[in-house]
Amino acid sequence: MVLKWLGGGKLDHPLADEKGAKEVLEGLPQGDAAKALEEICHWLESVVVTEGFKTERRIEIILQLDDAAQAHLQKLSRDYFSNPPPSRFQEARLWGAISVLWNDLAGAYAACLEQVAADSGAVGKLKPQLPAVVTRAVRAHAAQLKWHYMRYQVGSAAVWQAFGKVYRFAEAKKLQRENVSLYVRNPVNTTSEREFVKALMLAASSPDCLMPVEIELAERIIAHLAGGLLVTDTHQPQATYNWIDLAGSTPPKRLTQAPPTGAGLRFFAAGPANAKLEEMIRIAEKGALPTELNLGAAYEVAMVLRVMRHLRTYWAATPPVRKHDRYEVAHRLSVVNGFAGVHARVQGGASAGPSESWLTQNISSGGIGAALDKTQGEWLGIGRLVGLSVEGGSGSCSVGMVRRCSRGEQRELYVGLRTFAKTAIAVTLGGIDPPEAMLLSDGSALKEDALLCLREGGYDSRVSPTLTFEGHTYLLVPVEKVEGGDDFEIARYRAMQQA
C-alpha cells in the first residue's frame, strides 16, 4: 500500500514537519505503554509507505519514533520478566506489543537503507547520522530475533535475509566499526559490528534450551562481554567455530568441517570473552555477581550462574554431544503436563486427566524428540514436567522434562525431552510436606539409589523422609537435587530399609 498525503503539491503528512511531529509525539499515551507502542507502529508504517518524503526527513522521523518508543519498551520488558510472571493473557499482550514494535522498526530502518542505497546523494547528506542509523537498524533486527526466541522461533528466512542485508550495507559503507551512542536514555557506546556479533552469539548459544528470562539474562551477559567477541571475514583455525552467510537466509551454523567459501561468509566465536566468562563464573560460584554486570533487575545468583554455564558449554571449542545415540521411531504419545497432571496420570492410568497426542520423531535411552500440532503445546516451556504414555500401550507412564523447544514457520512445534525413567509409581512420603511423590524407576523394585519426583519445595538436604513400599519401610537419605522446575523437583536418595 502506498499513501499520498498531498495538498497543493506539498506533502501534507502529519509528520512532514517538526511542528506536526512534535504534536504527534507529545500526544502519545503516557499511562499505557502498550497503547503508545501501538500508535508508534502506526506512524512507522505510515512514514514508510507514504510517497513524497525526502530520504533524510523519513530517517529523521523514524529516529524520533524509535527514541519515543524506548521508555515504553523498557516498561513492558520489565513487566514481561517480572517476578511473579504475568498471566498467560498478559504475557501474550506484552509479547505482542514488544515484538511488533521491533518488527516494524527493523522494517522501517531496512526500507530507509534501501532508499539511501538507491539515492546517490543521500549518503553525503546523511553522513553525520548514518552510523547511528545503521547501528540502530542492526540492533532492531537483533531485537526482532530475540523476541522470536521468547516463543521458541528461530526467525524466518526473511528475517535472517534482511538482517544480513542490513549488515552488508554497514560494511559496504565502512560504517561497521563507527562508535555511536545509540540513545540518550541509554548512552552506551557501541558499533554495528558489536550489535551484529552479539546477535550471532545469542543465536549460537542454543536459546531454544533456555526459558525466556534466561534468554534475557544470556543477552545481557553477552552484551557485557561484547568487547571480547570475535567476528571476521576469514576463518581462523582454533579461533572461530561458527559461521553465517550474509547473503543467505538461515541462522548461524557450527563449523563442523572445512569452512565453506564465499564473499558473504563471516566467522565468529567468543574469542577473548571466554576468559572473562570463566572469571564471572568463578565469582558467581562463590555466591556473588560481578558488580559491573548490568542485568536490568535483581536475579538469584543460582539462575545467573546456570545461564553462564550454559553459555560456556555452547561457546566451547568442542560443542556438546549427545550422551546416547538416537533412533528414528514413530509412536503416538499421550502427554500430560505439570506435577499435578503427571501425578494424576500415574495414579489413574492413561485415561486420567486431559492430554495431548504427540508423534515421536526419535528416541534414545535418555530422551525423546517429538512433533506437535500447531494447536498444541501452548503450556510448553523449558523445564516443564511431562508424563508420557504410549497410546495403545500398557498404560505405564514415564516422566520427563522439556529440554528444547523450536517452532517452525507454520507454527508447528518440535520438542526435545529428557526422560528420567521408564516408569513412575505414585508414593506417599512421611516426614515432609507435601507428601505426594513419584518413584522413578526402570522396574518395579526399589533400589538403594532411589530417584523421586517431588512437588516444588519438597526436597530438603537436611530432611530424610520415610517411604513404605511393598510391605517394607525405608529411610530416604538425601543425596542431591538432580533437576527442578516451576512445580517439581527431581531428587536422588539413598534408600535404607528399616528393621
pLDDT of residue 312: 95
pLDDT of residue 455: 93
Q: How confident is the model at residue 132 (pLDDT cuts 50, 70, 90)?
A: very high
Task: Say if 327-420 and 423-497 have the same CATH topology.
Answer: yes
Buried b / exposed e over 24-52, threshold 16 CB at 10 Å, is bbeebeeeebbebbbbbbebbeebbebeb
Residue 353 pLDDT > 80, yes or no? no
pLDDT of residue 210: 93
Which is more confident, 325 or 435? 435
pLDDT of residue 395: 72
Cα–Cα distance for residue pair 464/460, rounded to 1 Å: 8
387 in Cβ contact with 349 (< 8 Å): no
Cα–Cα distance for residue pair 12/16, rounded to 1 Å: 7
- In this structure, what are the phi and psi dihedrals at residue 434, rounded to the nearest 5 degrees? -80, 155
Highest mean pLDDT among 1-15, 268-282, 314-328, 386-400: 268-282
Tell me what percent of the residues of the chain surpass a pLDDT of 70: 94
Determine if the pTM surpasses 0.85. Answer: yes
Residue given cell 560443542 in the structure block: 319
Q: How confident is the model at residue 64 (pLDDT cuts 50, 70, 90)?
A: very high
Q: What is the mean pLDDT of the chain?
A: 89
Which is more confident, 421 or 228? 228
Domain ranges of the chain: 6-203, 327-420, 423-497
Residues 423-497, CATH architecture: Beta Barrel (2.40)
Highest mean pLDDT among 217-226, 350-359, 405-414: 217-226
Question: How many alpha carbons lie under 13 Å from residue 304 in its C-beta half-sphere?
Answer: 24
State mean pLDDT over 264-282.
Answer: 96
- Angle (CA) 314 320 325, round 5°: 150
Tell me the per-residue pLDDT of 210-255, one tens digit each, with 9 for 90 and over: 999 999 999 999 999 999 999 999 999 889 999 999 999 999 999 8
Class of the CATH-defined domain 327-420: mainly beta
Residue 267 pLDDT > 90, yes or no? yes
State mean pLDDT over 174-195.
Answer: 90
**Treating both helix axes as pointing N-terminal to C-terminal, what angle do 18-26 and 55-80 enclose, rounded to 10 degrees?**
10
126 in Cβ contact with 184 (< 8 Å): no
State mean pLDDT over 136-146.
Answer: 97
